[in-house]
Structures are given as structure tokens and as C-alpha cells.
Structure 1
Amino acid sequence: MPRSAPTGAYRELMDLTAADGNPVSHAQLERWHLRGLLPDTDRDFLGGCHGTRTSYPQEVKDLARALARRHRPGRLLDDTVLLAFFCDSARIPELPLKLALVRTYFPDRERHRGEVARIMNAVPDDPGSERDIYYDWAEARAVLEAEEGGMVIKKMRANLRRRPDLARASREEVDGRLLGVLTHLNSPRLPEEDLDLMRDLEAAIDFDSEDFSLARLAVWEYAATAHAGQMGRFGETNAEERFDTLRYTPLDELHRLRDEVVTGMQETWRRATGGHQGALAIDTVPMARSAARALAEWTTARKAHPEGSSYADVHFNDSLLDLARATAIAWLLNRADRGRAATPPADRAGEGRSAFIARTTGATGRRRRTR
């Protein structure tokens, strides 16, 4: 059956998007309409024998232009929606927006939780000790994160080698220390009394480095988000509760929470790059999906913090500042160690064989896991 000619409203949208350099077809507009992104047209009666004219209000025209700007052949529609929502502050209709958030957040969350449970179940019970389910869960999450690797893990591993005792350590030794850091960031609280662990944590986060990079941002974002959960009121939720919370969050509230998430990401980027790289562009699919997962998570997680708390304040101001406070002594000790390591070898005379071995191999002998 031949496709009907574009209506006056569709023709106007096609002309607008083409003028922007992002032309879309009549068929694409129809697909957006069927998915609930474009509403039915308004019909204006011209009076007399002049008939009617179909048109869209200005907000729909702006929405179509934003969608066209982010549309690419073969790109998932959910990704186009998320890019328009986070990059252009587009007024996405409620149903397609929430569907995009749900399909981005929940499958990834459930896959991650399933993998963590698999790792936990593979560890045999120790009949001689009392099982700490929260520690076991945190350790399993740490193992999974280390296995999956990625920018955060690679950067934290490299940062740990800033410690003189790990500079020439084996990969196994460094990964053992990294696993300790990840485990305690995933635990209900930081063990601030464990100075060895806090020194590893300080080195892994690397607050005072002059390396302004996306990898540094990723580490800070990971640490800040993990520690924000430790600062909030401890509680447990399940997927159904999180789904209902997102489902019943009003559309205007989602737009406000989106602005909080974007502000938080921009603030962290500004700090991580020293303000030298301009604003963070959330114009790639991975960045938009990351922002979507943060938004979906925050709709529930904000309940664990004082009423009125914003995402930016909790995650990328309060959390980073508290991490800096918690690691202040560790920073001083690590800095002193790096200073001694930079001293010419002649000034190290008499340090002793055992001290030399410990310093150059990272053989500390401390227990990583504590109960």
C-alpha cells in the first residue's frame, strides 16, 4: 500500500529538521508518532470553504528538532531519546522517557546483581567463622568490577602504583590491594581506623594528581557514588520497589532530577580536569546511558538522604569532600613516602635488607580482609 503524502504538520517538521542539517523522513516521523514521541496534530478550522490545517505547537517542533539532532541510522530509539533528554533538555513525553530509563537501568542492574550472586555462591563457607553477608556481597561486587575491568579499574590500578611499596610490585600484589579498596568502597561503611586500607584508598582515588583526564573523572565518579551510599541512611530495596518509584515519579520531577544529575557530572568533570577542558559533553551513547542509570538510581537513593538533598551535593560535593577528609592522614603519610622515595639513593644508606625488600616488592604481609 503506497504511503500517504506528508501532512502539513509533518511537512513543517521535515522542513525544520532539514534546515538544521538533520533531515528526517516522513516514515521516521510516523515511527516516532507510533512510539508516543510525537502527539496527534492539532487541527485548525480555517472557516468557510477553506477546510482545515494541521499543525504542531512549538514545544513539539522543538522536540522533533532535538530528536532529529540525535538520530542516527541504526541507533536504538531509546538511545536517541536519552541523548535528546540529557543533551538538549528535550521535553520527552512521559511514557517513552520512562521506558527508555527502565530499559537502560534495570537489565544492567539485574545482570550485575546476578553476577555478584554467582560469585558469592562460588565461595565455600568457612565453618570456623561467622559469615558477614554485607562484606561477602561487597567483596563479590569488587571481584566482578575487577574482572570487568574498564577505565576505572585500569586507572585505579595505575594510581596504586604511586605508592613506593607498590611501584615494582607484581600485578597480583597490586590487584590484591585494589580488591581491598573496591570491597570497602562497596561496604556499608569505610573502615577509617584501618590506616593501611585508607592509604591504599587515597592512592587509588588520587585527589592531588595533575593528570586531567576522562579516566580521572571516572575514578572520582565511581568513588563518590560508592561513598554517597555509605553516607546515607542504610536500607535495602528490591527491583519492584525501584521500578514503582521510577514509575510514579512525576514527569516534571524527572526533569528536575535530570538537571541535578547533569550538574553533578559537570561539577565532577570540572574538578577532575582542573577546569581546563571546558564543559562535559554528554553527547555519546555511553555517556547518556551512564546519566540515565544515575538518574534512575537517584529516584530511589535520594530517600536515604535528608529531604531536599540534591544529586550534585550528595555525590560530587559532600561525598568527595568527606572522602578527602577521611583520607587526610593517609594522604600525609603517602606524600611523605613518595618524598622519601624521590630522595637520592645515597641518602637511604643503612635502611636494612628487610626494609629494602618490603619497599621494592610491596611485601607488607597485612591482612586485606577484616571482620
Structure 2
Amino acid sequence: MDLTAADGNPVSHAQLERWRRARLLPAPDRVSLGRGGTRTTYSQEVKDLARALARRHRPGRLLDDTVLLVFFCDSARIPELPLKLALVRTYFPHRERHRDEVARIMDAVPDDPGSERDIYFDWAEAEAVLEVEEGGMVIRKMRANLRRLPDLARASREEVDGRLLGVLTHLNSPRLPEDDLDLMRDLEAAIDFDSEDFSLARLAVWEYAAAAHAGQMGRFEETNGEERFDTLWDTPLDELHRLRDEVVAGMQETWRRAAGGRPGGPALDTVPMARSAARALADWTTARTVHPEGSSYADVHFNDSLLDLARATAIAWLLNRADRGRAATPPADRAGEGRSAFIARTTGATGRRRRTR
């Protein structure tokens, strides 16, 4: 209590007891002083953990969220049971809700008796529909990026969303169709690697695209919730701390790229970001098995994935850049127009200036 108060984050005795009951804080060591009674002592690791918990604690904040904030922001040594419970309760309910929503969308699409059903494409398409329905920063930014294509600059919202659905569907598919040049041009435009816009929205788009494409770069294997739970629960505590560092490094690398090297970093000290990092960590405990042994989260999800996306969209980038350049150039018959040509174009047969509105 003295340590947390000295930091400006006073914690009550009752709160400390709640953390002890949750097995976050071990009971203190008691050293006998003979007839003088006993002395209570805490290890430095427990002191640091208590101070970090007090720093992240807020009235009404879920204990799991406090644990995740301490784990990802302060790199604290969280005991195994409360850490794994926080990861499980953050990852699996979110995963199941998402899968239920995707299944709902798939069930609403009538079967086409004249074609063979591709369950993986149907699932990817349903994922894309759900993502557009939910909206959010990534969808808004990718939609705006697509409007930079000359043929979509004045297109309707429905037309833009149709092209966006194509991009999202193929990012969620097992493999990227690199031979489909039209799709790759839309993908390149939606990701927008060469934009000078340094914003959180750009970061979010790159993070989404990199994470989606990372799955396409590994071996394709099916899994289920039970296998993922067993893998996460059986991961040693020291390994979880190491994987935590990989996930944080990956998020920082994405920020560095999206911010163009500007100083700063992602704001991990918010509950949504901590939950996002927790879901990434829980997913990576299983996903890493389909990548070469020793692969790190940061390398696979951001360095390797973004570089491979840049390679795959290189031709599309050249074509899109050329199209935007042509669209920005005045037509040849208007460029360098002289005074006499301007008068002839803007007056009628009587020589009077045409009325304009």
C-alpha cells in the first residue's frame, strides 16, 4: 500500500485482497523474529507487479483488462493462471461471436445448384460482407483509398463497396490470386503503400492487410476451437512472455512503417489495443505452427507479409500510378490553350460570351 501510494496510485487493502484471491499477488513471506513476532517481506518482482496493477487499475474496469494492460504495457510477470484466464476470456468469446456472424451470412446465401460450392471462398466472402457491415476505421480508409482510382472517383457507394468486397474476400481466402490483375490493382489501391498520409487509419489498414496475408503465406491447415484452446493453455508461461514481446514488436513495426519513421509508437495503454494484442497473441500460439520453425510474429505478420504484398502488387502499383498520373494531366486540347482559342470556345456565333451557371 505504501509503494502504490508513493506512485500516486493508492490501492485499498480490500483491493489487494481481491488481487490475492485472483492469484495475481502471492501471499507475503513471513520471517520469524523469535519473541519479536514476524516480519512480512515481498520479493522485488511482486512489488513491481503490485505497482503496475495499481497503475492500470480503474474503478469498474474488468480484472482481465487490467491484467492485459499490465502484461502488454508494463511487461510485468503475470502469474500463469490469471494470465491464461484473461487471454482465454478475451480471445475465445470474440472468436465464437465472429464465427457465428459469418455462418449467419453464409446461411443467408442461397445455394447455386448449377455450380460446385467452394466452402473456403464462401467463408471468405461472408467474412468480407461482415467486415463491411461492421464498418470501422479499416473499412472507411480502404473505401477512401479505392476512390483514388480514376474509374471510382465518381462512382456510387454501392460500386465502391462491390470492389471493396472483392478485395476483402480475396484477402480472407487461403491464397491470393496474383494472376487476377484487376483484383490486384484494387488490392494495391486499397492498401495504398505509397500514400503520404501518416495516420492511425493507415496503420490500421496495413495491420489488417499484413495479418490477413500472413495466413496466406503459411501452410493451409484446418483447426478448431478445442485445438486452439489446448495449444494456448499448454503454452509455458515463459513462452507466453516471449510471444508477448513478439506481438508488441510487430505492432511497433507496423506503426513505424505507417508513420513514415516519425517518432512515437502505438498507444498500447488502452483497453481496445490491449484486447487486440491479446487476441493476436492467442491466435499466434496456433498460427505459428504453419510457418517455418523459429519464425517470429513481427517478421511474419509485418516485415515478411508487407514485403510480399508489395511484391505481389508491384505491377498493379505501376499501372495504378500511371492511371492516376494521366487523370491528373489536363487534356491535350486544353493544355496550353491560347487567348484566341479560349475566346472561340467560350463565345457563340454572335461573339457574345456564353452564359454559364
- State TM-score, norm by structure 1: 0.89
1:33 aligned onto 2:20:
yes
CA pair 42-21 structure 1, distance change in 2 beyond 3 A: same
Letter in 2 for 1:343: T
Per-residue deviation, 1:280: 2.1
Which residue pairs with 1:253 in the alignment?
239
Superposition map of 1:281-320 within 5 A: 281-320=267-306
Letter in 2 for 1:135: F
Letter in 1 for 2:66: T
Deviations 1:4-26, CA, capped at 9 Å, x for gaps: xxxxxxxxxx1100111111111
**In 1, Cα distance between the equivalents of 2:334 and 2:5?**
71
1:205 aligned onto 2:205:
no
Deviations 1:110-146, CA, capped at 9 Å, x for gaps: 0000110111111000011111111000000000011
Letter in 2 for 1:39: P
Which residue pairs with 1:149 in the alignment?
135
1:226 aligned onto 2:212:
yes
Which secondary structure does the structure 2 equivalent of 1:339 belong to? helix
Which residue pairs with 1:16 in the alignment?
3
Aligned length: 335
Letter in 1 for 2:51: R
**In 2, Cα distance between the equivalents of 1:273 and 1:103?**
32
CA pair 347-234 structure 1, distance change in 2 beyond 3 A: farther
**In 2, Cα distance between the equivalents of 1:283 and 1:73?**
16
Which residue pairs with 1:136 in the alignment?
122
Which residue pairs with 2:158 in the alignment?
172
Superposition map of 1:1-371 within 5 A: 14-47=1-34, 49-346=35-332
**In 2, Cα distance between the equivalents of 1:325 and 1:173?**
27
**In 1, Cα distance between the equivalents of 2:178 and 2:316?**
10
Per-residue deviation, 1:55: 1.8
**In 1, Cα distance between the equivalents of 2:163 and 2:110?**
22
Per-residue deviation, 1:53: 1.1
Deviations 1:251-297, CA, capped at 9 Å, x for gaps: 00000000000000000000000121412230000000000000000
Per-residue deviation, 1:347: 5.0
Letter in 2 for 1:224: A
**In 2, Cα distance between the equivalents of 1:256 and 1:103?**
20
Structure 2 unaligned blocks of 5 or more: 336-357
**In 2, Cα distance between the equivalents of 1:348 and 1:189?**
46
Root mean square deviation of aligned Cα? 1.0
Structure 1 unaligned blocks of 5 or more: 1-13, 350-371
**In 2, Cα distance between the equivalents of 1:303 and 1:182?**
25
**In 1, Cα distance between the equivalents of 2:39 and 2:192?**
62
**In 2, Cα distance between the equivalents of 1:167 and 1:348?**
21
Deviations 1:71-123, CA, capped at 9 Å, x for gaps: 01111110000000000001000000000000100000000001101111110
**In 2, Cα distance between the equivalents of 1:321 and 1:107?**
32
Letter in 2 for 1:55: T
Letter in 2 for 1:40: A
Per-residue deviation, 1:300: 0.2
**In 1, Cα distance between the equivalents of 2:227 and 2:314?**
38
**In 1, Cα distance between the equivalents of 2:27 and 2:259?**
45
**In 2, Cα distance between the equivalents of 1:202 and 1:327?**
6
**In 2, Cα distance between the equivalents of 1:104 and 1:347?**
62
**Greater Rg, structure 1 or structure 2?**
2
**In 1, Cα distance between the equivalents of 2:224 and 2:238?**
25
Identity of aligned residues (%): 89
Letter in 1 for 2:9: N
Which secondary structure does the structure 2 equivalent of 1:43 belong to? strand
**In 1, Cα distance between the equivalents of 2:275 and 2:289?**
22
**In 1, Cα distance between the equivalents of 2:177 and 2:117?**
18
Per-residue deviation, 1:239: 0.3
Letter in 2 for 1:299: T
**In 2, Cα distance between the equivalents of 1:100 and 1:153?**
29
Per-residue deviation, 1:56: 1.2
**In 1, Cα distance between the equivalents of 2:263 and 2:122?**
40
Deviations 1:273-329, CA, capped at 9 Å, x for gaps: 012141223000000000000000000000010000000000000000000000000
Per-residue deviation, 1:348: 8.0
Which secondary structure does the structure 1 equivalent of 2:36 belong to? coil
Which secondary structure does the structure 2 equivalent of 1:269 belong to? helix
Which secondary structure does the structure 2 equivalent of 1:345 belong to? coil
**In 2, Cα distance between the equivalents of 1:214 and 1:97?**
29
